[in-house]
Chains A and B, each alone.
Chain A
Amino acid sequence: MTKLTTTTNLTNPDAVYAAIIDAHRDLTDEQSAAFNARMVLLLANHIGDDDIVLEALNAAQA
């Protein structure tokens, strides 16, 4: 059974996408990598469901 939402789930996907890109604007590659790692960890915890996180890890291999 899949639990990971893969259909559009944000009210304003363009704005969120832009915000993510924006957050990296002045960062070096190294800072960006660190930033992304913090994001992944924050979001994984927020999801709060181990199975969904594992599914997302799979989906991201695509």
Chain B
Amino acid sequence: MSEPEFKALYQYGYARSPDQDAPERPHHPVVVVGAGPVGLATAIDLAQRGHPVVVLDDNDKISEGSRAICFSKRALEVCDTLGVGEKMVQKGVTWNIGKVFQGEDQIYAFDLLPEDGHKRPAFINLQQYYVEAFLVERAGALANLDLRWRNELCAVAPGEDLAVLTIDTPDGRYEVSADWVVACDGARSPLRTMLGQEFVGKVFEDRFLIADVKMKASFPTERWFWFDPPFHQGQSTLLHKQPDDVWRIDFQLGRDADSALEKRPDRVMPRLKAMLGENTGVALEWVSVYTFQCKRMAEFVHGRIIFAGDAAHQVSPFGARGANSGFEDAHNLAWKLDALINGKAGPQIIAFYGEERERAADDNIGNSTRATDFISPKSGMALTFRNATLDLARHFDFAKAMVNSGRLSKPTPYGPGGLNTPDEDDWANSVTPGSPPVDAPLENDAGERIWLLDALGADFTLVCHGCDVKAAMPADMRIVTIGRNVTDSLGLFAQRYDTRPGSCLLFRPDQYLCARWRHFDRDKVIAAQQRALGFG
């Protein structure tokens, strides 16, 4: 991927850490390498759980030029737990609808959130630099989170039960050791290279021009994708709104395009005029040319060093699965590390982070590879089939489902088994153990609207339909009783989870459904919780 240089939007400063003057090598329970969205999310989550966390970043600024713009419902739900979800939604542009065109004609439209009764929309668009700035601000409010700018990790010595890190700063090098290192140092992960780990997968040759432009335009807040539009024949184009009257326009350029040339304003402007009309006033915010790849590490956990985000897996942007799945990594990992450090989990639990998130990476890579193959077919026959699909989609419904302009990010179910207890009772079509949560509107004591996901705690939560089990459970288990302290007056919770009076659902600290029963049984709840903590 090309790495353009841009001016800083947010500049943070280097500050000398007391660690650099310590007589002996300082030791930390957790060091996070990389202050991108994933490192910051991991660090904030752990710090909120009470752990002192050191975050290292080789840089000290957030630059103009947004990579991610689409943040998913699930990422927003994760960000709600980190205290930045509301800010993101306030600043972002909410959307649920996507439209696909071929030539001049719309051939297909999709609604990513066809039902009401969710706190968060299917997606918002928001420049990645805003997300990072909100996370940095939140990190700064946590006294036990020590964010060290211009601290570049330059060597690692992995040990049996700790790792020693060598860090380079403007004042020279120093060393620290850590019980756990979370590697969130991005797609080119120096840590991955230091450990000699491979990053395997597929590289796509097609080049894409990404232009973020400022303009007053009346396009709706929808994702518009063209195959072979009249203004950019033979290639694809994407148009998507961002805050501040900024629009992302993404032109497929093909394999042979000259990146340096295509970035020049005198090349970009005619493309924009052809698309938007001669008279639309557009100002270029940011232009870049990318190629994409879909790759992952074979294993995300290497002893005391755990990989997350782009360092562990990389996807093409068609489907907005990069940062979004990185937030899910962070959310999956933080509670497990927390439980392990606090002596509440079995040592296996970290291996389950690897298992669950490697499965998710395969899901995301599969989806984004298929979309990229559809958008830029690799062979003459692949192109023939792609165009046949588009032709058929004009006339027949079935082919619309095959048109792939990007399958947008959804959280991956981990399935029953592993940490999640399989059902023993009968349940109708609904959220199954090991699945991500589905939100539902509820009311509190005062009759005010609250949301299921906000009612779940940072630890395990048992949600009971109509039966008060508080007295039977350990005091530290969070219990939500539908029909007592909260009400499900619309019946959407009961519908989405197929509950009846007596049903009990156990949610993991990352809000995934862990186990469920038609009738409360204390021992079964405890056993399911122990299993989810890696004692299974």
Contact at B392–A42, with CB atoms within 8 Å? yes
Cβ–Cβ < 8 Å partners of B387 in chain A: 34, 37
Contacting residue for A33 out of B381, B391, B396, B398, CB 8 A: B381
Indicate if B389 sits at the interface (CB-CB under 8 A).
yes
Shortest distance from the beta carbon of A18 to any chain B beta carbon, whole Å: 23
Contact at B384–A41, with CB atoms within 8 Å? no
Q: Knowing A34-B387, A34-B388 are in contact, say whether A41-B402 is a contact too (CB < 8 A).
A: yes
Main secondary structure of the interface of B (DSSP, over half): helix
Indicate if B399 sits at the interface (CB-CB under 8 A).
yes
Contact at A37–B388, with CB atoms within 8 Å? yes
Contact at B388–A38, with CB atoms within 8 Å? yes
Cβ–Cβ < 8 Å partners of B398 in chain A: 45
Cβ–Cβ < 8 Å partners of A41 in chain B: 385, 388-389, 392, 399, 402
Which residues of A12-62 have CB atoms within 8 Å of chain B's CB atoms? 33-34, 37-38, 40-42, 45
Is the interface on chain A under 10, 10 to 19, 20 to 34, or 35 or more residues? under 10
Which residues of B450-505 have CB atoms within 8 Å of chain A's CB atoms? none
Q: Which residue of B lies closest to A45 (CB)?
A: B398
Total interface residues on B, CB under 8 Å, equals 12
Cβ–Cβ < 8 Å partners of B399 in chain A: 41, 45
**A47, B466: Cα distance in complex, Å:** 46
**A40, B388: Cα distance in complex, Å:** 10
**A37, B391: Cα distance in complex, Å:** 10
**A34, B387: Cα distance in complex, Å:** 8
Shortest distance from the beta carbon of A40 to any chain B beta carbon, whole Å: 8
Shortest distance from the beta carbon of B383 to any chain A beta carbon, whole Å: 10
Contact at A37–B384, with CB atoms within 8 Å? yes
Contact at B389–A34, with CB atoms within 8 Å? no
Cβ–Cβ < 8 Å partners of A38 in chain B: 388, 391-392
Shortest distance from the beta carbon of A37 to any chain B beta carbon, whole Å: 4
Contact at B384–A34, with CB atoms within 8 Å? yes
**A11, B392: Cα distance in complex, Å:** 28
Most B Cβ at <10 Å: residue of A33, A34, A37, A45? A37
Cβ–Cβ < 8 Å partners of A33 in chain B: 381, 384
Question: Hey, what's the 0/1 contact readout for B367-385 against A, CB within 8 Å counting as 1?
Answer: 0000000000000010011
Shortest distance from the beta carbon of B234 to any chain A beta carbon, whole Å: 15
Shortest distance from the beta carbon of B378 to any chain A beta carbon, whole Å: 15
Shortest distance from the beta carbon of B374 to any chain A beta carbon, whole Å: 13
Q: Which residue of B lies closest to A46 (CB)?
A: B398
**A37, B381: Cα distance in complex, Å:** 9
Cβ–Cβ < 8 Å partners of B389 in chain A: 41
Q: Which residue of B lies closest to A42 (CB)?
A: B392
Shortest distance from the beta carbon of A52 to any chain B beta carbon, whole Å: 16
**A28, B399: Cα distance in complex, Å:** 24
**A37, B392: Cα distance in complex, Å:** 10
**A45, B402: Cα distance in complex, Å:** 10
Cβ–Cβ < 8 Å partners of B396 in chain A: 42
Shortest distance from the beta carbon of B456 to any chain A beta carbon, whole Å: 36
Cβ–Cβ < 8 Å partners of A40 in chain B: 385, 388
Closest 7 CB pairs of A and B: A37-B388, A45-B398, A38-B388, A37-B385, A33-B384, A37-B384, A34-B384
Question: CB within 8 Å of A: which residues of B?
Answer: 381, 384-385, 387-389, 391-392, 396, 398-399, 402
What are 10 contact pairs spanning A and B, CB under 8 A?
A: A33-B381, A33-B384, A34-B387, A38-B388, A40-B385, A41-B392, A41-B402, A42-B392, A42-B396, A45-B398
